[in-house]
């Protein structure tokens, strides 16, 4: 049996035939021009015929090279079509997360994930309820838990939960602890912890919404001061729609965690988990 032709040499020849240039083929492959030339020579040696004519500043195909390039192009096109069909048939990853984290942290970064893994689709749903990965139609879930107590054995730690207060500029400059405090029912203790950490007393009871997203919107409407992760309102602060209040941000001792099913997980979910951990480290 004849040895199989190396795929990298076949792909290099295909690119040379398609572009008519060793330089362009090398750029597409991310290698040097001499490396492409070597792959062509190796392929010609394996086939026992010349595929290209080499000039001083140009390269052209021989007649056998032209016929081979046509058939090879058809083969690569069929491979690409088969790959596209397989990718389109793969079900999306189903990820459940808190509403505000999904809207203000995950979704703005999903385009970066798709550029790296164009064949993996991610379907995001939101809920604050606990998720049972063994029984529900969910592949992974993001939630908060103490930084030293993961919510499940296979959970992977993401970014820490850090909070600080924000309000429209006219309120931020004249804020007093007895003013209206806005927060989320998911994290009702953030205001008391932040106030104690900053030595403030006399604050009223926080007005709690179903999600931090609603509390942020209420702050944008001038209803009061919202406590949330600084990254959630970075755009509004840069645009001058919200301003931070005096006092230091508080590390709550909680983290966001990615809960994964136990046992071996498939390649798409592993890729998403690794990317999410990497992106979280960059944003911390």
User: Would you kindly state where each structural domain of the chain is located, as residue ranges?
Assistant: 7-89, 92-284
What fold characterizes domain 7-89?
A: Arc Repressor Mutant, subunit A (1.10.10)
Q: What is the pLDDT of residue 89?
A: 54
Residue 69's CB is within 10 A of a number of other CB atoms, namely 18
Q: What is the pLDDT of residue 1?
A: 44
Mean pLDDT by 10 residues, the chain (284 residues): 72 87 84 88 88 81 88 84 64 91 94 91 89 85 92 92 95 81 94 90 84 95 95 94 91 94 87 94 80
Residue 97's CB is within 10 A of a number of other CB atoms, namely 23
Q: What string of DSSP letters covers 12-31?
A: HHHHHHHHS-HHHHHHHHTS
CATH class, 92-284 region: alpha beta
Q: What is the pLDDT of residue 43?
A: 86
| Range 195-206 burial, b when 16+ CB lie within 10 A, else e | beebeeeebeeb
Q: What is the pLDDT of residue 249?
A: 92
Cβ pair 120, 268 in contact under 8 A: yes
Q: Which of 2, 30, 38, 3 is nearest to 13 (CA)?
A: 38
Cβ pair 228, 212 in contact under 8 A: yes
């Amino acid at each position: 049996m004849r040895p199989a032709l190396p795929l990298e040499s076949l792909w290099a020849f295909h690119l040379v035939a398609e572009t008519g240039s060793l330089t362009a083929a090398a750029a597409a492959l991310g290698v040097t021009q001499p490396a492409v030339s070597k792959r062509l020579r190796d392929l010609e040696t394996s086939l026992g015929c010349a595929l290209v004519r080499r000039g001083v500043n140009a390269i052209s195909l021989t007649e056998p090279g032209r016929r081979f390039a046509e058939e090879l192009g058809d083969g690569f096109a069929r491979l690409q079509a088969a790959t596209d069909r397989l990718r389109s048939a793969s079900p999306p990853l189903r990820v459940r997360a808190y509403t505000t984290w999904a809207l203000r942290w995950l979704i703005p970064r999903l385009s970066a994930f798709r550029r790296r893994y164009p064949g993996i689709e991610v379907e995001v749903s939101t809920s604050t309820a606990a998720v049972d990965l063994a029984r529900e139609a969910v592949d992974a879930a993001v939630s908060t838990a103490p930084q030293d107590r993961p919510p499940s054995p296979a959970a992977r730690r993401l970014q820490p939960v850090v909070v600080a207060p924000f309000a429209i500029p006219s309120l931020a400059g004249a804020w007093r602890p007895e003013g209206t405090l806005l927060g989320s029912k998911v994290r009702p203790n953030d205001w008391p912890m932040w106030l104690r950490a900053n030595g403030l007393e006399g604050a009223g009871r926080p007005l709690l919404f179903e999600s931090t997203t609603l509390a942020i919107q209420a702050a944008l409407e001038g209803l009061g001061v919202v406590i949330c992760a600084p990254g959630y309102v970075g755009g509004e602060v840069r645009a001058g729609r919200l301003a931070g209040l005096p006092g230091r941000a508080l590390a709550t001792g909680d983290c966001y965690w990615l809960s994964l099913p136990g046992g071996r997980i498939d390649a798409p979910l592993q890729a998403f988990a690794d990317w999410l951990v990497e992106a979280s480290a960059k944003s911390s």
